[in-house]
Amino acid sequence: MFIVMASPECAPIAKAGGLGDFVHGLCRELSSRGHAVELVLPKYDSLRFDRIQGLHKVYGDLWVPFYDKAIRCDVEYGEVDGIACFFIDAHGEHRFFHRGKIYGDADDPERFAFFSRAVMEFLYKSGRHPDIIHCNDWHTGLMPVLLYEIYAGLGMDRSRVCYSLHNVGHQGWTGPQVLQMNRLDAARLMVPERLRDPGNPGAVNLMKGGIVFSNFVTTVSPRYAWEIQHTEQGMGLQAVLQTHDHKFGGVLNGIDYDTWNPEVDGHLPVHFGPQTLPEKAKCTAALRARTGLADAFKPIVAVVSRLDKQKGVALIRHGIDYALAQGCQCVLLGSASSPEVDAEFSRLKHETDASPDCHLALGYDEDLAHLIYAGADMILIPSVYEPCGLTQMIAMKYGCVPIARRVGGLADTVFDANYSDRPFEERNGYVFDDYTYAGLESALGRAIGLWQRYPEYFRQLRLNGMRQDHSWNVPGQHYLDIYNHIRV
C-alpha cells in the first residue's frame, strides 16, 4: 500500500509531545511491514537537522495558492531513522515555518492551513496517488476538505483519508479567511454539517472539517474515543462524533521499543530488563548523582510531563509535597506551557533547590527523561484528561510504577494493584478517579506504603508492567485493517 502521512510533528526532529512519537512509531512500523510510507512535514527552522540524513532539494518552484496569489515553496527530502520524509519549505514574507518553534503564534491556523494546502499541491503536482493519506490533529484537518472539494476533481480520486485525533482540546478554531485563503467555497462549507464550529457560528473549526470529510477517524485510545463522544471531554465535538460514529474508533498508541527499551537504551549507564532487574539500582544511583539527590533508602517519585493544565499541574504540585512528607525523594522534569505555570514551578524549584530529596528540572531534556524512567520507582500522572499518554507505557517498560488518574488512555493501560478486576499479572500500577488531593493521596499513599513495607510485591508490580507488550505491532495491524477497510 502507498501511504502518505501528514503531520506537524515527528520525533525526534520536531517533537512537542506524543503526536511526534506516534508519527515516528507508526511510520516505522508500516515501513517495516513492506508498505511504501512517505511523511510530509513543514521545514521548520527549528528542526533537529543533525537527525536528518541526506537532506536535499527534490522539487523547486511549487507555487501554493494563497488568496489570489501564490507562495513559492521548495520540497526537500531526507530520511529520519529510515522514514522517507518530505519537507515543505515555504518562502515569502509570512515566513510560516521560520519562527524558531513549532507552535505558539497567533497565526497558527493560517500557518497550518497553508501547510495542508502545500501538501496537497505537492502530492498533485508530483503525480502521487497514495492509497491512503493519514492526517493528524487540527493542523492537517483541512487536507481531506481540500481533497474532496478541489483535488479529487483534478484526478486525485483514488486516495482515501484516515484522520487521527490526538487531542480535541485543540481544534483549530479560526475565521473564514482560511477558506478564502485556500479558494474554498465559504458559503458551502460554513454550515453546521461541515466546518462551522458547533459553539460559535462565526468560527471555522478545522478539526471538525477533518472529521466530516475523512473516510475514517481514529483517536488514540478506546476510552478517549468514548469520553469525547459522551462527556464534556469532547469539547463541543460530541454530537459531531456521534453523527460520524459509523467511521470512528479508538486505537491505543504503541511505543517504539527501539527508543524506549532499558535493555538497549543508549542513554543509560547500565542496561536492564525483567531478567536483570537488580541492575536498575545502578540507574537509580546515576539518577541521584546527576540530579544531586542524596543516596538514601527512599523511593523516587518522578514526574516527566509538559506542565500544562491538562496534565494536572495542581495535583503534580501537591503530589510532590505529599511524597516528600511521606519520606520519598522527588524528581520532576517538566516544560511549562504558560508564564504563570513557569513562575509557580520556578518558585518551587527555588524553594527545594537545597533539598537532598527533591530536584526540579524545568525544560525539555530527552536524555534526562530516559534516565528518570530508568532510575525512578514511581511516576505520577494525574491528568485532567489524557487522550492516550505515552509516559505510563514508557515508565512501565523501565520498571517504574505509574500512579495515574483513570481517564483516557491511562484507564486503558494502568490497572490498579488492589482494585482491578484483572488477573494479578496484568496489574501494573495505582489509579484514582477523583481529581482531588484526597483522590491522588489514596493512590500515591498505597504505592509508597507497598514500596516501604512489601518490597517483593512492589517488585512483582514492576515486572508485570515490564512484561506487557505496548509495541507498535498490534496498533500497526489495527491501522492497516482500517486502511484496507476504506481503500478503493
Segment interacting with ligand ADP (CB under 6 A) among 110-118, 187-195, 239-247, 387-395:
387-395
Give me the sign of the Cα torsion angle 319, 406, 333, 260: positive
Measured distance CA(335)–CA(266) in Å, rounded: 23
Pairing of strands 160-165, 216-219: parallel
Is residue 391 near ligand ADP by the rule CB under 6 A? yes
Q: Which residue is nearest to ligand ADP (CB)?
A: 18
Measured distance CA(439)–CA(442) in Å, rounded: 5
Is residue 78 near ligand ADP by the rule CB under 6 A? no
Measured distance CA(226)–CA(453) in Å, rounded: 38
Among 18, 42, 141, 144, binds ligand ADP (CB under 6 A): 18
Residue 139 CA to its chain's centroid (Å): 14
Segment interacting with ligand ADP (CB under 6 A) among 107-115, 193-201, 267-275, 385-393:
385-393
Is residue 389 near ligand ADP by the rule CB under 6 A? yes
Segment interacting with ligand ADP (CB under 6 A) among 15-23, 103-111, 143-151, 193-201:
15-23
Report the residue number, 171 or 182, with the smaller CB distance to ligand ADP. 171
User: Cβ 73 to ligand ADP, closest distance in Å?
Assistant: 28
Q: What is the DSSP letter of 14?
A: B
User: Cβ 358 to ligand ADP, closest distance in Å?
Assistant: 17
Give me the sign of the Cα torsion angle 13, 18, 22, 28: positive
Report the residue number, 162 or 333, with the smaller CB distance to ligand ADP. 333
Binding residues for ligand ADP, rule CB under 6 A, total 18
Pairing of strands 53-66, 248-250: unpaired
Which 3 state secondary structure label does DSSP give 84? strand
Q: What is the DSSP letter of 429?
A: B
Report the residue number, 181 or 304, with the smaller CB distance to ligand ADP. 304
Report the residue number, 306 or 478, with the smaller CB distance to ligand ADP. 306
Residue 375 and residue 288 in contact, taking contact as beta carbons nearer than 8 Å: yes
User: Cβ 374 to ligand ADP, closest distance in Å?
Assistant: 12
Q: Which residues contact 67 (CB under 8 A, 6 or more apart)?
A: 180, 181, 183
Measured distance CA(64)–CA(79) in Å, rounded: 24
Cα distances from 322 to residues 344, 443, 445, in angstroms, run 17, 12, 9
Segment interacting with ligand ADP (CB under 6 A) among 137-145, 156-164, 263-271, 361-369:
361-369
Report the residue number, 116 or 253, with the smaller CB distance to ligand ADP. 253
Measured distance CA(378)–CA(300) in Å, rounded: 6
Report the residue number, 90 or 394, with the smaller CB distance to ligand ADP. 394
Report the residue number, 52 or 333, with the smaller CB distance to ligand ADP. 333
Report the residue number, 177 or 310, with the smaller CB distance to ligand ADP. 310
Residues 256-315 interacting with ligand ADP (rule: CB under 6 A):
304-306
Measured distance CA(92)–CA(73) in Å, rounded: 9
Show the DSSP H helices in 247-365 as ranges. 280-291, 313-325, 339-352
Segment interacting with ligand ADP (CB under 6 A) among 24-32, 64-72, 289-297, 365-373:
365-373
Measured distance CA(453)–CA(458) in Å, rounded: 9
Measured distance CA(318)–CA(380) in Å, rounded: 11
Among 71, 123, 384, 390, binds ligand ADP (CB under 6 A): 390
Report the residue number, 149 or 386, with the smaller CB distance to ligand ADP. 386
Measured distance CA(90)–CA(382) in Å, rounded: 40
Report the residue number, 66 or 224, with the smaller CB distance to ligand ADP. 224
Report the residue number, 8 or 389, with the smaller CB distance to ligand ADP. 389
Report the residue number, 90 or 320, with the smaller CB distance to ligand ADP. 320
Q: What is the DSSP letter of 299?
A: P
Residue 335 and residue 408 in contact, taking contact as beta carbons nearer than 8 Å: no
Extract the C-alpha cell encoding 275.
Answer: 531478567
User: Cβ 140 to ligand ADP, closest distance in Å?
Assistant: 17
Query: Three-state SS string across 350-395, please?
Result: HHHCCCCCEEEEECCCHHHHHHHHHHCCEEEECCCCCCCCCHHHHH
Among 146, 184, 369, 376, binds ligand ADP (CB under 6 A): 369
Segment interacting with ligand ADP (CB under 6 A) among 45-53, 78-86, 329-337, 424-432:
329-337
Is residue 358 near ligand ADP by the rule CB under 6 A? no
Is residue 364 near ligand ADP by the rule CB under 6 A? yes
Q: Write the burial class of residue 367 (CB in 10 Å: 0-12 exposed, 13-18 middle, 19+ buried).
A: exposed
Segment interacting with ligand ADP (CB under 6 A) among 286-294, 389-397, 417-425, 477-485:
389-397
Among 12, 17, 273, 445, binds ligand ADP (CB under 6 A): 17
User: Cβ 20 to ligand ADP, closest distance in Å?
Assistant: 8
Segment interacting with ligand ADP (CB under 6 A) among 153-161, 336-344, 360-368, 445-453:
360-368
> Contact positions toward ligand ADP, by CB under 6 A?
17-18, 21, 304-306, 333-335, 364-366, 369, 388-391, 394
